[in-house]
Amino acid sequence: MLLIDADPQGSLSQGFFGSHLIECLEPHETLAALFDQRALFATPATLPVSTPFDGISLVRANQALAPHNAPSPETAGLAQFVLHGLLEELTGFDVVLIDCPPNLYLCSWNAMLAADYVLIPVPPEDFGTQGLRAVHQAIDQARRLNPKLRRLGHLVTRYDGRLLVHRSYEQRLRTLYHDGVLETVIPEASAFKVSLACRQPVAFHSRNTRAARLTTRLCREILDRITARTAKLNVA
């Protein structure tokens, strides 16, 4: 599995290696190198690094990526296809996951032009759907350049079933998007925070917790959806 951290905050990278190491990385050691034509030492093959967990590699990111995450990404010329070019060069990975920033600037746009599917995390905090509509519109626009791109679904996350507003928001999402909302719901759980502090995925650090079981269920649901949609496309 290959993980690509396309968020200038570098949270995914810090989750594996800690904030100090990631913040001290030189730009040519991170995804930022591919956006910078002045970078002399970086090639796609040099960017993935092994994590402490077998079978998981990571392309890291830190604040050096921020200047490249510009608005109006559709005007960025060839810079729109940096991640697409990266994935064409990197082979041998069964699954590639791209972590995007919480905006629709160049980094997220790059991810959509490189990806097969988009999974949309939705914290159940607001009944308005304007934010989701903007994401849907961006996906539709990206499909003009990447026709294979599809919405995999919406993932309700950071959920607290004790709160009426969370239960109501989840129900509203399911009423609006039906099977476009994943069955698995990820709660706000202390096990996630503890495992993050220990720099381990929750399934490794706290495998007997509900958080770990739900994470495993989410992975299975994602893979099942991809398999089903791929089969449907092949039949069509």
DSSP conformational letter for 159:
B
Neighbours of 87 (CB within 10 A): 16
> Nearest-CA neighbor of 112 among 69, 70, 145?
145
Query: Which pTM does this prediction carry?
Result: 0.93
What's the pLDDT at 91? 87
Upper half-sphere CA count for residue 190 (Cβ side, 13 Å):
0
Q: Which whole number is the average pLDDT over 58-74?
A: 97
Pull the structure tokens for residue 168.
């109501």
Neighbours of 174 (CB within 10 A): 15
Q: Nearest 5°: phi and psi at 58?
A: -140, 135
Domains contained in the chain, CATH given: 1-115 (3.40.50.300)
- In angstroms, the CA 139 to CA 8 distance is 21
Neighbours of 152 (CB within 10 A): 18
174-186 pLDDT, tens per residue? 999 999 999 999 9
Pull the structure tokens for residue 65.
């990526």
203-225 pLDDT, tens per residue? 999 999 999 999 999 999 999 99
Query: Length of the chain, please?
Result: 236
